[in-house]
Amino acid sequence: MTGSALALRVVAAVPLSPTLKAFTFEAADGGLVPPSGPGAHVRLFLRRGAWSRKNAYSLVSNPEDRSHLSVIVRRVAQSKGGSAFLHEEVSEGDVIEAGLPANLFPVVRTARRHLMVSGGIGLTPFLAYIAAFEAEGTPWELHHFCRADERGAFAALLARYPASRVHIHCDADLAGLAQALACQPLGTHFYTCGPALLMEAAKDLALATGWPPVRLHAESFGAAAEGGEAFVAVLQRSGIEVMVGPETSLLDAIEAAGVEAPCLCRGGACGQCVTSVQDGIPEHRDHFLDAEERASNRLIMTCVSRAQTPRLVLDL
Ligand code: FES
């Protein structure tokens, strides 16, 4: 292990369905993996020649078990390379560099009960949550929404848990969730992770049922927005100019130029990639900045936002 980077050896790469693959990693030096908590993610540094990506994946392994780390990766149809690389080019025995686990979606430890709503691959942080809840005996309930052809894969991941706690839905009917929201005891906290539409609908339902916003928690890993006009990004501290093509995100262009830039969700939701704008006007496409921050034109989320002006000068 060097600095903030980890060397992880792939000890299992197991397809769960045509689109889902589970990877288990051990520390390449044979030691324990670093500590993490339920809801934590790890960034995998994926490289092939000049191509590189740093993609974040929720840890699905039990945080108490430091013999390994596990993630599940969905192969996305419009993959720019990260998920396709992991599915097709990474196999047992390979060593991958990774960042230390970090947690932007922690469990609320004061909660007396936990109600979770996930959609598709959004189940992953909750697998670590559930392992922790089971270990400490905290009551929980999960409503998972997925496509019918992926039901079997997700059901297998949850098969060890009591059927009374796990509700898998293969349609968009929120009636069961509405019922659950209406009858939770005081002290319950509510978490959502998955596609934006599902998270919005679940949150709206909770608010309409009288849940206070302070007990609602969400994690979003979205897809980057569509491309747009080409522009030049001037990375002031690095002293270089980067051409951002119509189909490339600003973040991808910065990384391709070999400049380290913070990021996590790559979907405009987590706030990690916020960068100061020294000159030029951003075209905001994120879900993170508030109206005042947008209007100031002094900040940009590099993963999704672009430029209204031909040049954008950034503090990078
Ligand atoms: S990486 Fe999450 S908002 Fe940009």
Instruction: Report the CATH number at residue 154.
Output: 3.40.50.80
- Would you say 90 and 22 are in contact if contact means Cβ atoms under 8 Å apart? no
Give yes or no: residues 215 and 235 share one domain.
no
Kindly state the tokens that stand for 184.
């939770």
CB of 263 closer than 6 angstroms to any ligand 1 atom:
yes
- Closest ligand 1 atom, residue 287 Cα: 3
Kindly state the tokens that stand for 214.
């302070």
Residue 225 lies inside a defined structural domain of this protein: no
Last residue of a domain, one of 193, 219, 245: 219
- Closest ligand 1 atom, residue 286 Cα: 3
- Closest ligand 1 atom, residue 271 Cα: 3
- Closest ligand 1 atom, residue 273 Cα: 4
Give yes or no: residues 268 and 215 share one domain.
no
Residue 104 lies inside a defined structural domain of this protein: no
CB of 250 closer than 6 angstroms to any ligand 1 atom:
no
Buried b (16+ CB within 10 A) or exposed e, 237-261: ebeeebebeeebbbbbbbbebebeb
pLDDT computed for residue 183 by the predictor: 93
Residue 105 lies inside a defined structural domain of this protein: no
pLDDT computed for residue 2 by the predictor: 39
Give yes or no: residues 259 and 293 share one domain.
yes
> DSSP per residue over the chain, as a string?
-BTTEEEEEEEEEEESSSSEEEEEEEETTSSPPPP--TT-EEEEEEEETTEEEEEEEE--S-TT-TT-EEEEEE--TT--SHHHHHHHH--TT-EEEEEPPB-SS---TT-SEEEEEEEGGGGHHHHHHHHHHHHHT--EEEEEE--GGGHHHHHHHHTTS-TTTEEEESSS--HHHHHHHHTPPTTEEEEEES-HHHHHHHHHHHHHTT--GGGEEEE---PPPP--S-EEEEETTTTEEEEE-TTS-HHHHHHHTT-----SSSSS-S-TTEEEEEES-EE---SSS-HHHHHHT-EEETTT-EESSSEEEE--
Give yes or no: residues 149 and 81 share one domain.
no
- Closest ligand 1 atom, residue 266 Cα: 1
- Split into its structural domains, the chain has a count of 3
Can you give the residue range of the structural domain that contains 253?
A: 231-314
Give yes or no: residues 86 and 162 share one domain.
no
Total residue count of the chain as it appears in this document: 316
Q: What is the CATH number of the domain that holds 93?
A: 2.40.30.10
Residue 226 lies inside a defined structural domain of this protein: no
Residue 190 lies inside a defined structural domain of this protein: yes
- Closest ligand 1 atom, residue 269 Cα: 3
- How many angstroms does the Cα of residue 2 sit away from the middle of ligand 1? 25
Give yes or no: residues 87 and 139 share one domain.
no
pLDDT computed for residue 53 by the predictor: 81
Per-residue pLDDT of the chain (316 residues; tens, 9 = 90+): 434 589 999 999 999 999 999 999 999 999 999 999 999 999 899 988 877 888 889 999 999 999 999 999 998 776 667 889 999 999 999 999 999 998 888 999 999 999 999 999 999 999 999 999 999 999 999 999 999 999 999 999 999 999 999 999 998 889 999 999 999 999 999 999 998 889 989 999 999 999 999 999 998 765 545 568 899 999 999 999 999 988 788 998 998 888 988 888 777 878 889 999 999 999 998 878 888 999 999 999 999 899 999 999 999 9
Residue among 55, 58, 270 to mutate when testing ligand 1 (max atoms within 8 A of CB)? 270
Residue 12 lies inside a defined structural domain of this protein: yes
Distance CA 106, CA 68 (A): 20
- How many angstroms does the Cα of residue 273 sit away from the middle of ligand 1? 5
Residue 107 lies inside a defined structural domain of this protein: no
If 0-12 CB within 10 Å is exposed, 13-18 middle and 19+ buried, where does residue 30 land? exposed
CB of 272 closer than 6 angstroms to any ligand 1 atom:
yes
- How many angstroms does the Cα of residue 286 sit away from the middle of ligand 1? 8
Residue 120 lies inside a defined structural domain of this protein: yes
- Map tokens 């030029």 to a residue: 280
CB of 269 closer than 6 angstroms to any ligand 1 atom:
yes
Give yes or no: residues 252 and 277 share one domain.
yes
Last residue of a domain, one of 161, 191, 219: 219
| Identity at 140, one-letter amino acid code | W
CB of 266 closer than 6 angstroms to any ligand 1 atom:
yes
CB of 131 closer than 6 angstroms to any ligand 1 atom:
no
If 0-12 CB within 10 Å is exposed, 13-18 middle and 19+ buried, where does residue 312 land? buried
Q: What is the residue with the minimal CA distance to atom 3 of ligand 1?
A: 268
Q: What is the CATH number of the domain that holds 253?
A: 3.10.20.30
Q: Which CA distances in Å does 254 have to 53, 97, 290, 313? A: 11, 20, 24, 12
Last residue of a domain, one of 99, 123, 138: 99
pLDDT computed for residue 78 by the predictor: 62
- How many angstroms does the Cα of residue 268 sit away from the middle of ligand 1? 4
